[in-house]
Amino acid sequence: MKPFILLLSIALLFLAVSCQHALKMQKKCTFMFYNVENLFDTIDDPHKTDNEFMPVEPKNWNTERYRKKISDLARVISLVDTVKLPAVIGLAEVENDIVLTDLINEPVLKDAKYCIAWEGGPDIRGIDCALLYQPDKFRIDTVVYLKITIDTIPRFKTRDILYASGWLDNDYMHLFVNHWPSRRGGEEESVVKRERAAEVLRAKVDQIFENDSDANILIMGDMNDEPADSSLLHVLKALPNSEMPKSQQLVNLMWDEFSNGEGSYSYRNDWSMLDNIVVSSNLLVKRRGYNTSLDNGFIFHLPFMEFVNNRGEMSPNRTYGRSYYGGISDHFPVYVTFD
């Protein structure tokens, strides 16, 4: 009987270790952000300036090209987390919920049963922020769209900031998806617009901290600014990820990539870290519940997402330039993992 008991004990121990490992694997999750570069359908919306993305226009945006872009984007998302797919996906440059529905119904994403948070905003081009989330992982109970206005520029219109809050298991999470004003018209002229976006976001963050000093806050998006720019560093107060933060501070997890000369966007081989992931201190220092680490912000790209020119310079393989290029997006996605 002794050999039998020994074998049984070993088997039970192996089972316990396996179950514990499986439980740990289940508790990992990925949050990602992706500027998907003009994700338009091929149907004219009379309330938006989407004419350039019609089949009869010079860009010749047709069903075949649209389906290819949807399929390629789904492939990228599926490869960011090949085990369970990202729990939450923030998106920028999305025209409507039709393109989002087509995206989540792609075969490589369908099993995740993503839900959609999206609302048409004031941007004249009709490109907005959106949120995809697996409802069995992130249980949303509030979605609000923060308006960005400037008193001195009454006709100014830009994308809303998408704010969602809800439960990630036993952790209550506050999530923001951003696409701040571009640098068109010159950086000096446009900086006030991005700083205003940062002010609106910071005001909401302060309100959350007033109610909960240990709030779990995750901010992601295309800020059209880099981590050391005033809007992020001084207005939003997102600090470098070089040391552990104090209570109620924000940390930019993409700062080290920025410091190393890396980026999520390239213009004429000049890389910029425009896509940022910022977290509150509690997500870094707490011992229970979901947390992450200072070095857990990543840029994601694989060869099929890249374009290499005849000088050997690599950049994101974009969909359009002056003509149709056939790529996926002019940005690389960024992501953070939580344990």
Q: What is the pLDDT of residues 8-22, one digit of tens each?
A: 555 555 555 454 544
Q: Is the pLDDT of residue 326 over 60?
A: yes
Q: Which residue has the tokens 């900086």?
A: 191
Backbone Cα Rg of the chain:
21
Where does the pLDDT of residue 24 fall: very low under 50, low under 70, confident under 90, or very high at 90 and above?
Answer: very low
- Phi and psi torsions of 133, nearest 5°: -150, 145
What is the 8-class DSSP label of residue 287? S
Q: Would you state the structure tokens that stand for residue 331, as one six-digit string?
A: 């940005």
**Residue 124, pLDDT score:** 82
Computed from CA positions of residues 69, 70, 73, 74, in that sequence, does the dihedral angle turn out positive or negative? Answer: negative
Instruction: Determine the Cα–Cα distance for residues 119 and 246; give it in Å rounded to an integer.
Output: 35
Closest CA to 133 of 160, 107, 161, 168: 168
59-105 pLDDT per residue, tens? 789 999 999 999 999 999 999 999 999 999 999 999 999 999 999 99
Closest CA to 235 of 181, 291, 197, 190: 197
Where does the pLDDT of residue 54 fall: very low under 50, low under 70, confident under 90, or very high at 90 and above?
Answer: confident
Those residues with Cβ within 8 angstroms of residue 107's Cβ, 6 or more apart along the chain or in another chain? 74
Return the number of other C-beta atoms located less than 10 Å from residue 193's C-beta: 21
Closest CA to 259 of 294, 285, 301, 291: 294
Provide the CB-side half-sphere exposure for 129 (13 A, CA).
28
**Residue 115, pLDDT score:** 98
Residue 313's region, left for phi above 0, alpha for psi from -120 to 50, else beta, is beta
238-247 pLDDT per residue, tens? 999 999 999 9
SS3 state at 164: strand
Instruction: Determine the Cα–Cα distance for residues 294 and 257; give it in Å rounded to an integer.
Output: 12
Is 222:274 a contact under the CB 8 Å cutoff?
Answer: yes
Domains annotated for the chain, with CATH where assigned, are: 28-338 (3.60.10.10)
**Residue 97, pLDDT score:** 97
Full-model pTM: 0.91
Q: Would you state the structure tokens that stand for residue 108, as one six-digit string?
A: 């490589």
For the chain, the maximum distance between any two Cα atoms, rounded to a whole number of angstroms, is 87
Question: Alpha helices of the chain — where are they, by DSSP H?
Answer: 2-26, 63-80, 97-104, 107-110, 187-211, 230, 255-259, 282-285
Q: Would you state the structure tokens that stand for residue 74, as one six-digit string?
A: 């789904």
Percent residues over pLDDT 70 in the chain: 91
**Residue 48, pLDDT score:** 76
170-216 pLDDT per residue, tens? 999 999 999 999 988 777 779 999 999 999 999 999 999 999 999 99
Q: Is the pLDDT of residue 255 over 90?
A: yes
